[in-house]
Amino acid sequence: MRERDRRRAEPDETDNERTEPPAPEPQGDGEPAPEEQSSAGDGADPSSTDPSRELTEQRDRYLRLAAEYDNYRKRTSRERGDWESRAQAALVTRLIDAIDDLSRFAHIDPATTDPMTLHKGIELVEQKMLKALGGAGLEIINPLDQTFDPTMHEAVATEPALSREDDHTVAKVFQPGYRFNGQLLRPARVVVKQWTS
C-alpha cells in the first residue's frame, strides 16, 4: 500500500483534536472548579446572619413600635378631652340666655314686683331652659296614665286600680325622669295602680 493510501486509512491525531472537544479534567478532591465556587458564593445564605445583629434589629423595631403606640394613645386621649370640652361649651352656650334671665329675676325687689309677674317670668325661664336642653338632646319622661315601664320608671308607691284595664298604669308622677340622647339619666318616680280582684 502506498503511503498516501495509508494516511487515508489511519486517522491522523491532528484530525481527532479538531473534531472532538477536550475532556474536562477531573478534580481529585471532588470540589467544583474555581469559577463554580465563585458563582455559588455570590448568593449568600440569609440564615447565616449574626444572631446579635438580628436581636438588635428586633429590639429597635419593638422600641419604635412601642413609641408609636404611646404617641397614638396620648394623641387620642388629648383629642377625646378636646371633644368633651367642646361639647360642654356648646351646651353651656345654649343655657347662657336662660341664666341671664334667672339672674335678672334673682335681683328684683319682691316688694315692688307683683307675685303673678314673678311667677310668669319664672315659667318663661323654665321653658327657655328646657327648650335649650331639648335641643341638646334632653327628653323629659312624664308617664302619667301610661303603662308602667321598669326600665324608665321607679315605683315609689302603689294604689288600688278601679278596673282591670288600669292595672300597672301610672297614677301620679312625683318626679319626672330625664333621658339624654337615649341614655337614662334619672327614672321617673311614680305611683302605680294595682288591680286586686
pLDDT in tens, the chain (197 residues): 555 555 555 555 544 445 555 555 555 555 554 444 444 444 455 555 788 889 999 999 999 999 999 999 999 999 998 998 888 898 888 889 888 888 888 888 878 888 888 888 889 999 999 999 998 899 999 999 899 999 999 999 999 988 888 889 999 999 999 999 889 999 999 999 998 87
Distance CA 83, CA 90 (A): 11
**Taking the chain, what is the end-to-end CA distance rounded to the nearest angstrom?**
149
pLDDT number for residue 101: 87
| Residue 178 · residue 136 · CB < 8 Å | no
| Residue 160 · residue 193 · CB < 8 Å | yes
Tell me whether strands 153-160 and 188-194 are parallel, antiparallel or unpaired. parallel
| Residue 189 · residue 156 · CB < 8 Å | yes
| Residue 192 · residue 155 · CB < 8 Å | yes
pLDDT number for residue 162: 87
> Amino acid identity, residue 68?
E
3-state secondary structure of 10: coil
Neighbours of 177 (CB within 10 A): 20
Residue 54's alpha-carbon distances to 45, 60, 62, 118, 169, in angstroms, are 15, 10, 12, 81, 74
Distance CA 188, CA 145 (A): 13
Distance CA 188, CA 4 (A): 134
- With a threshold of 0.75, does the pTM exceed it? no
pLDDT number for residue 39: 45
Distance CA 95, CA 131 (A): 9
Domains of the chain by start residue, with CATH: 71-136 (no CATH), 138-197 (2.30.22.10)
pLDDT number for residue 184: 94
Hey, what's the torsion of the CAs at 135, 141, 142, 144, to 10 degrees?
140
| Residue 143 · residue 153 · CB < 8 Å | yes
